[in-house]
Amino acid sequence: MEDVSKEEIDNIIKDLHNKGYTSSYIGKYIKDQKGVNFKELYKTKITRYMKSINIKYDIPEDLLFLLKRISKILKHLESNKQDKVTKKSLEEIETQVLSLIKYYKKRNKLPKSFEYSRDLAKMYASS
Structural domain span for residue 38 = 6-52
Domain shared by 48 and 66, yes or no = no
Domain shared by 45 and 68, yes or no = no
pLDDT at 71: 95
Nearest to 30 by CA among 20, 22, 38, 42: 38
Q: How many other CB atoms are there within 10 angstroms of residue 59's CB atom? A: 17
Please list the pLDDT of the chain residue by residue as tens digits (127 residues).
Answer: 457 788 888 888 999 998 988 888 998 999 898 888 888 888 888 888 888 888 888 889 999 999 999 999 999 999 999 999 999 999 999 999 999 999 999 999 999 999 999 999 989 877 6
Domain shared by 92 and 66, yes or no = yes
Domain shared by 69 and 108, yes or no = yes
Domain shared by 102 and 121, yes or no = yes
Domain shared by 42 and 90, yes or no = no
* Residue 1 domain flag: no
Domain shared by 48 and 82, yes or no = no
Task: List the CATH number of the domain containing 87.
Answer: 1.10.287.10
| Count of domains forming the chain | 2
pLDDT at 63: 94
Domain shared by 75 and 48, yes or no = no
* Residue 32 domain flag: yes
Domain shared by 119 and 88, yes or no = yes
pLDDT at 3: 72
Domain shared by 39 and 93, yes or no = no
pTM (global) more than 0.85: no
All residues at 6 or more sequence positions from 100 whose CB lies less than 8 Å from its CB, including other chains: 60, 62, 63, 66
Domain shared by 71 and 45, yes or no = no
